[in-house]
Amino acid sequence: MDGIDESEIDGITVDGSFGLAGVPDEFQRLWTPHRMVYIQNGQQPPEHECPFCIAPTLPDEKALIVARGTHAFVLLNLFPYNSGHLLVCPYRHVALYDEASVEEVAEIASLTQTAMRVIRQVSRNEGFNLGMNQGRIAGAGIADHLHQHIVPRWGLDSNFFPIIAKTKALPQLLGDVRNSIAAAWPTEPTDSPE
Per-residue pLDDT tens for 67-107? Answer: 999 999 999 988 788 889 999 999 999 999 999 999 999 99
Sheet holding 127-131, edge to edge: 65-68, 72-76, 86-90, 148-153, 127-131
**134 or 162, higher pLDDT:** 134
**114 or 137, higher pLDDT:** 114
Residues tagged active-site: 147
pLDDT tens column, 111-132: 999 999 999 999 999 999 999 9
Of 23-27, 55-59, 125-129, minimum mean pLDDT range: 23-27
**166 or 57, higher pLDDT:** 57
From the number of C-beta atoms within 10 Å of its C-beta (0-12, 13-18, 19+), residue 99 rates as exposed
Matching CATH number, 48-184, of 3.40.50.40, 3.90.1150.10, 3.30.428.10, 3.60.15.10? 3.30.428.10
- The answer to whether the predicted template modeling score (pTM) of the entire model surpasses 0.85 is no
Of 49-58, 114-123, 165-174, minimum mean pLDDT range: 165-174
Which residue in 20, 184, 15 sits closest to 115, CA to CA? 184
Residue 97 to residue 147: CA distance in whole angstroms: 9
Are 58 and 75 in contact by the 8 Å Cβ rule? The answer is no
Residue 16 to residue 9: CA distance in whole angstroms: 10
Return the pLDDT at 194.
45
Residue 80 to residue 4: CA distance in whole angstroms: 53
Residue 43 to residue 30: CA distance in whole angstroms: 23
Q: Which residues pair with 87 in a beta bridge?
A: 75, 149
DSSP string, 100-123: S-HHHHHHHHHHHHHHHHHHHHHH
Residue 181 to residue 136: CA distance in whole angstroms: 30
Return the pLDDT at 164.
47
**190 or 97, higher pLDDT:** 97
Residue 101 to residue 69: CA distance in whole angstroms: 15
Q: How many CB atoms lie within 10 A of CB 2?
A: 3
Q: Which residues pair with 86 in a beta bridge?
A: 76, 150
Return the pLDDT at 193.
47
